Structure 1
Amino acid sequence: MLQLILWHRLQPSINPPSATTVEFTSIEQIWPDSLLVLSVIARIGQSQPDVFTENITYAFRSGVFRLPKAGELEKPDTPLTCNFTELNKSIERLRLASPKLKQAIVDACAHTVLLDNKVTDSEADLLRAIAMTLDCPIPPFLNPQRSVSKQKQFSPKRS
């Protein structure tokens, strides 16, 4: 994930004329890429993927239904499998989507991560990388400073 973030941040310096333009304005154009990213984020939080196949599938499908037009488009019954190269290609394509679509994808990813009310370090890192790469705000539950300040603010005083 660090490679993905670094590449995204350094690319304008390496290739200055390559400004990111919007090429995709409908979810249909990036549907397979969206499904792939949601598949990875659904799988990454499970320590024993074989044991928790139902949980992974449920998280994946819940995230998919957060995407626009999810009720109209074909959806796989189980999460897709891929490698880092395929994930990277999908994220690069998603970078070319409209800001509204990018935000919908980050929202679906956040929903997938939060479904079990636990956020593993791997899930948090991947979600941060996706949000940063798509130039979207990082979901507030991933902001450690906010969490620390809330804990200090709401912690009961002891006598």
Structure 2
Amino acid sequence: MRRRQAKKHTILPDPKFKDVMVTKFVNNLMLHGKKSVSYKIFYDAIEIVQDKVQDENPLDVFKKALSNVTPGVEVRSRRVGGATFQIPTPVRDSRKQSLAMKWLIGYSRKRNEKTMAQKLAAEIIAASKEEGAAFKKKEDMHRMAEANKAFSHFRF
């Protein structure tokens, strides 16, 4: 790269749990700059998770769900001699985290519960049990990488 590296933004921890991961998740959840609405949705979802899973800490359930959805490898398209190959490559740590958050939020938006908090809580619980659409997305990505392992020597 010709220019200097971009500076990493420091993200402050959230007011309730004092956790930076929660703030990153809320920033991804936010629509149209409405962070207070996003915080309300997240905290309501965590309360619903606490009601459904009494024996565990809801924040631990959330972190377990994120770790279960986090991908290890992804496939990237690369043209070699007129043919396009899907080449498996390892994912950077920051990208792993953001992909997991985006998948969790995206698939919770597509669920059929009434409110966004209920949708998010259901997806978090499902992901912590290694089921649900976000976990399936990770499994599909790993399966694609495994199927295209023969092309890994084209890695750039």
TM-score normalised by length of structure 1: 0.29
TM-score normalised by length of structure 2: 0.29
Structure number with larger C-alpha Rg: 2
